[in-house]
Amino acid sequence: MTTISLLHIRAQWLPLQWKWQWPYFLYRWIIALYFLGWLLHGIITAGLDPYVQGKYLIYLTTWGFLCFNFYLLVSALSVSVTFYQHLRVSPPDPTISALTRSRQDRHIACTPLSVVNGIHWATALIGLQYPVAITILFWTFFNDPSIQEQTLSVSSIHVHTLNGIIAFLDTWITGVPFRIVHVIYGVLFGAAYIVFSGLYYAAGGTDVGNNRYIYPVLDYGGNPGLAAGVAVGCGLLFTTVLHFIFYSMFLVRYWLSRLVQTRLYGRKVEEPLEREDGLPTKRKH
């Protein structure tokens, strides 16, 4: 049975006891509600623009921003549910020793993976990686200097840059683990968008400028070779490379946090039933 890591739904760098996790709880809801506001702003703005409207959903930027927002909301909900579960099962009691409290926290944290925590983990694999990918791809391939005023608008900065920065930083803050095998999720997401863009072109779809493509580099009719190369290179290869970068960051984050915790407390942090690198914890008999 899959177990949730002791740090899965907690800040990696704060003490493990829930009484120290309040800043993380507030952080999760603040950024979730903040970016939800910008998502609603984008939807309303697109709905009021006759040139955009239904075409708002054809862009990879929108797909990534939706996934990012879904991850933030699920993450905030997951932390809240686990926090409430902790308080309900083990309410504050000044007579309980710190060691006993720590063991109770460990017991709750190593319970079977709940549905909400499972969704939290799954959405993080796409919700953290794709905003970073979109930020890199947008400023590398998709940025159009002729519409610099729109590109540098506050709304555009939020969906093309700030979300990528926050996703990158959140990868270092959160305790969500990454596995090598999870590369499949990002690849499937990229493949889904490639298939969609091809079907959209075949159906005669156009962008907001009435061009026969979603992005100029995905012009399957005008330049099929470039479109195929970008589709495979960005949608599959770049996604794979990015996942291994995130996996490497996870390993560095994990071991650095253990070093920091050891230095702060003068002892090794008690490990959960399943280590963050996916291997079972060695138990003393």
Sequence spans of domains, the chain: 18-265
Res. 45 pLDDT band, cuts 50 70 90: confident
CA distance 79 to 24: 9
One-letter identity of residue 234: C
Backbone Cα Rg of the chain? 22
Using alpha carbons, select from 119, 60, 110, 58 the residue that is nearest to residue 85: 110
Handedness of CA 41, 44, 46, 51 (dihedral sign): negative
Mean pLDDT of 14-22: 68
More confident residue, 234 or 244: 244
Res. 246 pLDDT band, cuts 50 70 90: very high
State which H helix or E strand residue 238 sits in. none
Residue 11: strand, helix, or coil: strand
CA distance 125 to 128: 6
User: In the predicted model, is pLDDT for residue 245 greater than 90?
Assistant: yes
261: number of Cβ within 10 Å? 19
Handedness of CA 68, 70, 196, 201 (dihedral sign): negative
Res. 249 pLDDT band, cuts 50 70 90: very high
More confident residue, 245 or 105: 245
And the tokens for 110? 């190593």
One-letter identity of residue 48: L
And the tokens for 170? 């959140």
Q: What pTM was estimated for this model as a whole? A: 0.80
State which H helix or E strand residue 18 sits in. none
User: In the predicted model, is pLDDT for residue 9 greater than 90?
Assistant: no
